[in-house]
Structure 1
Amino acid sequence: MTKYSSEFKVRFVSRYLEGGISYRNLCTEFGIPCTGIVKTWVSQAKMHGIESLKVKHTSVDYSQTFKIAVVEYVHTHQVSCAQTAAHFGISPSQVNSWNRIVRERGVTGLRAKHKGRPAMGKHKKTRPIKRLEPTQEEKYKQEILELKSKLHEAELDRDILKALATLMKNSPKRSPRK
């Protein structure tokens, strides 16, 4: 069960979009303790429409390619997990989780896992947990993700240096002190 119903979210976002009221005042009016969650609702509604605020009761299995695209978007567009979630129409906690998994285990950690309970055998054997070995394709995807992140960082550095050079060029010359 969700904490806030779909109707409640729609009323809140509609009231905000009418204008003339801040997040804080609206949260006080509706009895919501903080503004973080409502900012997510509003950005999601702006991106995907009011219908996207409806509570979904079905689980969705996302492909590894989609998960990688979401993580790549976070790294290359310098946006928060909440903004990325609004862009893709998914939960911010899901984006955060995938981001953490890629940091800790790489692209291999985003691989789909087997569902359900393991088959019962005659004798219970305890096997050590083995680390997943990445396939060649996953190695390439991991490398591409890292290279895109490095390229984005280099582009940011270049832009900063260009701006600094422009500022230095346009600034008035200092006269030496006597």
Structure 2
Amino acid sequence: LPGIKSLKQNHRKRIFSAKFKWHVINYYQTHAESFAQVAAKFDLLPSQISIWRQAFIKYGYDALKPHRKGRSPKVKKQTKKQKQKLVEKKEIDQLREELARTKQELYNTKMDRDILKKSLALFGPSKPGKKRK
């Protein structure tokens, strides 16, 4: 008898496939039976069928698929050597960036100097003193 079986307490956690959940929801919607009757037939709790049905209506079939519960696992703790390597890598990256900035500044300064040299060659040195009107 499925009715007596449903009154027994299950002490282990059962995992249901999305296909099974969909089958239960489909059975409930196509037959004129209550949640309690369908739950007894499939050896489930009526509230569980209701939860599955609401999730299916709201989010679709993907909501019925099993998913991980609880906290995500902690990030692995790093050893002192790994931390030191990370610090060294960060320092090296900072030094490389600083070197690149310095090279860019030097290049810009050289370009400015070359422009000034060429302008001096073309226009001559500027003489302080008389100005033409």
- TM-score (norm: length of structure 1): 0.39
Instruction: Name the Cα RMSD after superposition.
Output: 1.8
Secondary structure at the counterpart of residue 29 of structure 2: helix
- Give ranges in structure 2 of 5+ residues lacking alignment: 77-133
1:121 alignment counterpart: 75
1:60 alignment counterpart: 14
**What is the number of equivalent residue pairs in this alignment?**
76
Secondary structure at the counterpart of residue 113 of structure 1: coil
- Are 2:3 and 2:40, in contact at CA under 8 Å, matched by a contact in 1? no
Q: Which has the larger radius of gyration?
A: 2
Residues 49 and 104 (structure 1 numbering): CA distance in 2 closer, same or farther, change over 3 Å? closer
Residues 116 and 104 (structure 1 numbering): CA distance in 2 closer, same or farther, change over 3 Å? same
- TM-score (norm: length of structure 2): 0.51
Higher relative contact order, structure no. (Cα contacts within 8 Å, ≥ 6 residues apart): 2
- Give ranges in structure 1 of 5+ residues lacking alignment: 1-46, 123-178
Runs of 4+ in 1 over 4 A off after TM superposition: none
Residues 80 and 114 (structure 1 numbering): CA distance in 2 closer, same or farther, change over 3 Å? same
2:87 alignment counterpart: none
Alignment pair present for 1:69 and 2:23: yes
Note the C-alpha offset of 1:86: 1.2
Residues 57 and 121 (structure 1 numbering): CA distance in 2 closer, same or farther, change over 3 Å? same
Residue correspondence of structure 1 range 1-178 to structure 2 within 5 A: 47-48=1-2, 50-121=4-75
Counting aligned pairs with the same residue, the percent is 38
